[in-house]
Amino acid sequence: MAPEDVQRWAVKIEYDGTPFVGWQRQKNGLSVQELLETAASHLAGGLAVPSITAGRTDAGVHASGQVAHLDFPAGLPLVERAVRDGISFHLKPYPVVVLAAARVSPSWNARFSAVKRRYRYRILNRPGRAALDVNRVWHVKFPMDVGAMQEATRLLLGTHDFTSFRATSCQAKHAIRTLERFDVTREGDVLTFHVEARSFLHHQVRNLVGTMKLVGGGHWSLARVREALEARDRRAGGPTAPAEGLCLAGVNYDPDPFALVASD
């Protein structure tokens, strides 16, 4: 459809990634994208409502603040609450919900207009497995040195070639990225990493956290982390942390399309 034939809406979405093959449509299972577009098409009398997302999360990865845009037919009378609550209604009983909806210009793009992606990764660090946070955390039994991990995160802050921490299947043209935030804190048995950048390489957050686990367990020194970064070779980086600890916490835009929308 030409831009004048569509009305573009930005939606903020929360989902539990456990039952899905990931964000992107796939033939081998249920994706968040397929559910969202199907739910949205119910508001458009069955017409297709294609979406573009800010971050194509992998199978098992969660989101508390994913953002996508949806192109509805231009003539439909849509208002913020009806889009938000209508899509959420049609998403039942799946663990996916629209938290906010805002009309945006056809030149606005959930992927290309994003100025920052914010991820959170949680490790449950205790002997006992999770009973309450099943599928929400990575369970690491051995005691971890958070101070050492925090020092290691600082080595990786800023602009670097992250080839050693990108999936070998990553499609990006180059591996230079800028980590604007990368830190870890402990609260009780839970370690939380915050990782923020304009954009990320495929598996970058999980590969960084997998490497930090080696530091936290005393298996890797800070020097080894620096060597891994400088090697620019995936074989030099640490292992990929499991999907279930990862959550796309939010996406920033300037201006924020959701700043003025209804919150009740």
Looking at the annotation, which residues are catalytic? 58
Closest CA to 205 of 155, 245, 146: 245
**Binding residue (CB under 8 A) for a copy of itself from 15, 138, 162, 193:** 15
Q: Which two tokens stand for residue 102?
A: 């805002």
Least distance (Å) between residue 253 CB and a copy of itself: 19
Give the C-alpha distances (Å, rounded to integers) separating 77 from 52, 81, 82, 91, 246. Answer: 22, 12, 10, 21, 37
Instruction: Answer for the pair 152, 212: CB distance below 8 angstroms, yes or no.
Output: yes
Which stretch, 9-17, 104-112, 114-122, 164-172, contacts a copy of itself (CB under 8 A)? 9-17
**Binding residue (CB under 8 A) for a copy of itself from 64, 109, 192, 199:** 64
Q: Which residues within the stretch 84-113 sit at the binding site for a copy of itself (CB under 8 A)? A: 84-85, 88, 95-99
Instruction: Answer for the pair 106, 238: CB distance below 8 angstroms, yes or no.
Output: no
Number of H helices, E strands in the chain: 5, 10
Least distance (Å) between residue 123 CB and a copy of itself: 15
120 near a copy of itself, rule: CB under 8 A: no
In order, the DSSP letters of 43-59 are HTTT----EEES--PBT
Per-residue contact track with a copy of itself, 193 to 232, x per CB under 8 A?
----------------------------------------
- The footprint of a copy of itself (CB under 8 A) covers 14-16, 62, 64, 81, 84-85, 88, 95-99, 126-132, 134, 136, 141-143, 247, 263-264
